[in-house]
Structure 1
């Protein structure tokens, strides 16, 4: 004996009651018309002719292009960034070794270092810079290495009498920003450092170091804009660069603006700090070389920013919620 499930079916269209009159009459077999209407707030469609919408659309396209073309390099960005950040310290160490006599003479005659103290000062700088740079490149003891290189910056500032030089100060603030980016990157797997701050989690500390690092990174560009004679091309270059710097500082489209600054500073570095085109005996060669490798260090910090993002304290982070 078979059993059937009796499924209620709507009456056909001929038997269903008609709603309305005349040619516009229609059937409502399921009783939808008896339900109260539901009102929903409608969001107006964006106006394609609005200048802000055009800017947003263009920025979105550029951001997508950066994301697409950076994919092959993305796995290597942290290693490249860390190397570029410390390349100025490696170059400085080899410069001291190759110019040991000149460096020693300068410290004794102009900075009034006793002979033995000047030798120890130079040797300490060389060993610290090479050892700490190697540790950062190999991602071993990064926190200690960053602290050691920060100490070298302060030591050289006082030792060479450059602590009050505005160009040295601004450039090294940016180098410090790059080192802080290395420090925040190393905090991903760190658990027990800064145990004396129990109220801050690792993520909280990382956010603050990322904020400080990306703000300090832009000081190199500020130093660049304060030097030299003003021309129309330089004015445009400065305005565009400073706009990108502000975006990096506040963390708005941070990856895009950092990638733009990487390109801008790289072009500027090759064109302006072309130390290889200056004669070996020319005194300007060392200054250009110093500026060239310091700019590379800032580029390295910006590459880490492209890889890591702006962090938790940024406009980009707020927009996700």
Structure 2
């Protein structure tokens, strides 16, 4: 998660219609004004209906194209969510000496405590990731991995780093999506929520999870060099994020962000094209695997839907 530190550099820093017709002439009397208003309203309804038809068609196409993968989406999503933890555990083991040096020299960890800190992180990430992939004790695994995110933030001194904060909010959102998926089949009562049914708990967790998922894209928007392409991508992405947050056409919006983030990840975070000794390689690798985790959370959203607290669900009722 945050252990991409080596002996050669300090801790990571932040990177970064409706067309309206021309106004009609002033009405000569009340009747003509009513007719003009009626014509305008009819045009508005016609345009809105076209948008609804297009959105329904797009949603149908997404359902059709994803049908072969649909049985595998939960497993793919769960694996992608934890892939950043697996990569981080491997990084700590392969850079054990550098990690110890950084914690002791720069973070002031006493000898022994630094060893225990790294060891408990590796064991927790491997065990928690394996449990989520195997769909065993997912609730406890989610809690353990959330704990890793928090203690690494404090341990490596990145808890107030904006890039770290926004990205890891999205990772936590993906973990909460796993949690909401797990409690749908669990009969266990959760402390602090005695009066809520399983469906109630699930819809609240789905709401929190899908809102947190969009923070990665917000981080992308506010950091980095601006260009016309970046502005264009940011506008479309921000609209999709807003639709996910309120739960309007959430599956369509999540699928759009999956494609957008996947393309962005391959072309921008292409760590494999950077020399193995280049300092930028670790940062790109970190960004690449964290983005994969958010893509995994979005895939779970595509599979599960936005939940009960959403515009899409309310539309079914009314």
Normalised to the residue count of structure 1, the TM-score between the two structures is: 0.84
Residue 169 of structure 2 is matched in structure 1 by 173
Matches within 5 A, 1:65-214: 65-214=61-210
Larger relative contact order (Cα-Cα within 8 Å, sequence gap ≥ 6): 2
Cα RMSD, aligned residues only: 1.2
Match of 1:19? none
Q: 2 CA distance for matches of 1:231 and 1:48? A: 34
The number of equivalent residue pairs is 276
Q: What SS does the aligned partner of 1:182 have?
A: helix
SS in 1 for 2:112: helix
TM-score, normalised by the number of residues in structure 2: 0.85
Partner Cα distance (2:232, 2:48) in 1: 21
Shift of 1:295: 0.3
The answer to whether the aligner puts 1:273 opposite 2:274 as a matched pair is: no
Aligned to 1:222: 218
Q: Which has the higher helix share?
A: 2
Give the one of 302, 314, 317 matched to 1:318.
314
Q: Which runs of 5+ in 1 are unaligned?
A: 1-45
- 1:260 maps to 2:260: no
Unmatched 5+ stretches in structure 2: 1-41
- Hey, which bits of structure 1, 4+ residues long, moved more than 4 A? 46-49
Structure-2 separation of matches of 1:192 and 1:96: 35
Aligned equivalents of 1:228 and 1:200: distance in 2?
43
Deviation at 1:198, TM superposition (A): 2.1
Aligned to 1:38: none
What secondary structure, in the 3-state scheme, does the structure 2 residue paired with 1:305 have?
A: helix
Question: What whole-Å deviation, never above 9, does each CA across 1:17-65 have from its counterpart, x for those lacking one?
Answer: xxxxxxxxxxxxxxxxxxxxxxxxxxxxx87993222222211111110
Q: In terms of Rg, which structure is larger?
A: 1
Do structure 1's residue 288 and structure 2's residue 284 form an aligned pair? yes
How far apart, CA to CA, are the structure 1 residues paired with 2:130 and 2:224? 35
Q: How does 1:18-57 map to 2 (within 5 A)?
A: 50-57=46-53
Equivalent in 226, 229, 239 of residue 243 of structure 1? 239
- Secondary structure of 1:210's counterpart equals helix
Partner residue, 2:19: none
Q: What is the 5 A alignment of 1:57-68?
A: 57-68=53-64
Tell me, in whole angstroms, the C-alpha distance in 1 between the residues paired with 2:75 and 2:188: 24
Contact 1:275 1:288 in 2 (8 A): yes
DSSP 3-state at the match of 1:115 = coil
